[in-house]
Amino acid sequence: MNKHLLLENVRQALMRTEETIIFDLIERARFRLNDKVYARGAFGPAVGDDSIVGYLLRETECLHARLRRYTSPDEHPFYAGLPVPILPTLRFDENPLRPNTVNLNADIRELYEREIVPLICLPGDDQQYGSSAVADVTCLQSLSHRVHYGKFVAESKYRASPAQYQALIDARDADGLLSRVTDRAVESAVLHRVGAKARVYGRPPAGDDSPPPIDPAQVVCIFERWVIPLSKKVQVEYLLQRTP
Amino acid sequence: MNKHLLLENVRQALMRTEETIIFDLIERARFRLNDKVYARGAFGPAVGDDSIVGYLLRETECLHARLRRYTSPDEHPFYAGLPVPILPTLRFDENPLRPNTVNLNADIRELYEREIVPLICLPGDDQQYGSSAVADVTCLQSLSHRVHYGKFVAESKYRASPAQYQALIDARDADGLLSRVTDRAVESAVLHRVGAKARVYGRPPAGDDSPPPIDPAQVVCIFERWVIPLSKKVQVEYLLQRTP
């Protein structure tokens, strides 16, 4: 039983993803921007046409796919054509989601590389490409997990008001759904909470007068500009695909 | 330039490893003990004679080796026979260490599986083998990094008192070296600090009344019983191998 899939646990599971994302962003922010790790084809035939980050992400996904990561309804790969699991298949009887194909990982990767990394990392190159890329893969995975958790949020909202949601779905009213899933008070509480967490988790230890590894305002910005809007996009796309 | 390799940055680099270890332990503690992931040969021919964790650790090391992780003097693999890097070799001109072969990863893995996981995880099986094993690999890597950072600590101590250390080294006096590298006041400060960090990082967010993901006393215990003694073992073994 995967309790984080149960709708009554959605709120707690969502809050947990905030910690994970903040921890992961802090680890990435220890390294410089290192923009070479995002350049496609920059490292020759062994890496291929992809970037270092892409190479590591795809290989990591191959490995995790063998451990059946992407059979879980809350996990979404960035790459297609991954190997089949070597672990016996799990049944997810508790999975509340309807079948769907929503996957916004291409958007997440693009925004992450173009906006988030330059925001949290100091400019320049410290040559720590491997360490940076490992941290990038972890960040991409935790951001993807959070954003796609919007499916569970959407299912929960639908079940609380099925008639209203079904009318909007039947009318193919994406704007109406976006406005319906939007709750400014909850968003404001999320932003307040992630700011507070970032201040706590990013506090240098007593006796260490170095600057905090991450500016809490940047964490708030990441949630406000990208995580929350993408999560709502997942919610709308999931609802538009939802079979009654 | 890898600034964390410079001896003047040893203290700050060490403190940073504490955060990483605590974050990683918290992520592992979200799952049950799941002792099947440590059982060798339990998953058939695809995994082979190793356990799920061993399989994931070895495959992850193969991938990271290709990104030259183990060419850095502060990184130590758990497995031998890893592939050669696909990234161009870095020079580590700032590396202050003497050549050495100290690697305590076998001890670390054994203690981690036998002592640390049962300490931080609730007993039982939640079937989240893949997620548990991914968290295990991250914990093993961060514990290994911290413990082997003892080499930098030892080099720093040697350079501060070369005559005293060289006399103990020449006499092959392991007990004398252990006693010389031991600083109870510093150890006590480390334990105090990691306890404080664990209380902060493991605090459930406001509005979440679930129990903290990890007991700060357990984090202190992990550093007191295993991390600090293994780090001192690395220091002594490094010094005994140290060429003048």
Which pLDDT tens digit goes with each residue over B144-163?
999 999 999 999 999 999 99
Q: For A185-199, B34-48, B111-125, B127-141, which range has the lowest pLDDT when averaged over its residues? A: B34-48
Q: 209-228 in A: which are within 8 Å (CB) of B?
A: 210
pLDDT for residue B209 = 67
CB contact under 8 A, A200 and B201: yes
pLDDT for residue A92 = 83
Instruction: Determine contact: B28 vs chain A, CB below 8 A.
Output: no
Chains A, B: CB pairs < 8 Å: 108
CB contact under 8 A, A2 and B63: no
Which among A2, A200, A208 has the least Cβ separation from residue B200? A200
Q: Degrees (nearest 5) of the Cα angle A51, A52, A55?
A: 85
Tokens of A126: 């410290």
Cβ atoms B70, B141 nearer than 8 A: no
Give Cα A37 to chain centroid, integer Å: 20
* 3-state SS, residue B180: helix
Q: How many CA atoms lie within 13 A of B71 on its CB side?
A: 21
Over pLDDT 90: what percentage of chain A? 73
pLDDT for residue B43 = 75
Instruction: Determine contact: B70 vs chain A, CB below 8 A.
Output: no
Instruction: Determine contact: A22 vs chain B, CB below 8 A.
Output: no
CB contact under 8 A, A60 and B56: no
Which pLDDT tens digit goes with each residue over B31-67?
999 999 999 987 777 777 899 999 999 999 999 999 9
Q: Higher-confidence residue: B201 or A238?
A: A238
Burial A199-220 (b: 16+ CB within 10 A, else e): eebbbebeeeeeeebbbbebbb
Mean local confidence (pLDDT), A89-117:
94
* Mean of all residue pLDDT scores within chain A: 91
Mean local confidence (pLDDT), A111-134:
95
Which pLDDT tens digit goes with each residue over B224-236?
999 999 999 999 9
- Please say if the pLDDT value at position B93 is more than 90: no
Q: 132-191 in A: which are within 8 Å (CB) of B?
A: 133-134
Sign of CA dihedral A50, A51, A57, A63: positive
This prediction's pTM: 0.90
Minimal C-alpha gap between B130 and chain A (Å): 5
CA B205 – CA B202 distance, rounded (Å): 9
Instruction: Determine contact: A81 vs chain B, CB below 8 A.
Output: no
Confidence of residue B1 (pLDDT cuts 50, 70, 90): low
Mean local confidence (pLDDT), A165-180:
98
Instruction: Determine contact: A5 vs chain B, CB below 8 A.
Output: no
Minimal C-alpha gap between A98 and chain B (Å): 22
Residues 6+ apart with CB under 8 A from B40: B49, B50, B51, B54
Residues of chain B in contact with residue A86, where contact means CB-CB under 8 angstroms, are 43-44, 46-47
Reference A195, options A16, A11, A29, A22; nearest CA is A22
Burial A82-103 (b: 16+ CB within 10 A, else e): beebbbeeeebeebbbeebebb
Instruction: Determine contact: A196 vs chain B, CB below 8 A.
Output: yes
Reference B180, options B152, B153, B145, B147; nearest CA is B153
Q: Which residue in B has a C-alpha nearest to residue A208's C-alpha?
A: B12
Instruction: Determine contact: B21 vs chain A, CB below 8 A.
Output: no
**Chain A contact probe: residue of B4, B5, B23, B70 with most A CBs at under 10 A:** B23
Tokens of B123: 């007993």
CA A211 – CA A196 distance, rounded (Å): 17
Q: How many angstroms separate the most distant Cα atoms in chain A?
A: 60
Which pLDDT tens digit goes with each residue over A41-58?
877 777 778 999 999 999
CB contact under 8 A, B67 and A133: yes
Beta-carbon count within 10 A of A191 CB: 17
Residues 6+ apart with CB under 8 A from B14: B146, B149, B153
Which pLDDT tens digit goes with each residue over A173-198?
999 999 999 999 999 999 999 998 89
Instruction: Determine contact: A242 vs chain B, CB below 8 A.
Output: no
pLDDT for residue B15 = 87
Cβ atoms B108, B140 nearer than 8 A: yes
ipTM over 0.90: no
Tokens of B103: 């690697």
- Please say if the pLDDT value at position A1 is more than 60: no
Q: For A34-48, A49-63, A150-164, B12-26, which range has the lowest pLDDT when averaged over its residues? A: A34-48
* Mean of all residue pLDDT scores within chain B: 91
Which pLDDT tens digit goes with each residue over B172-185?
999 999 999 999 99
Mean local confidence (pLDDT), B204-213:
67
Minimal C-alpha gap between A86 and chain B (Å): 6
Which among B23, B86, B130 has the least Cβ separation from residue A47? B86
Instruction: Determine contact: A199 vs chain B, CB below 8 A.
Output: no
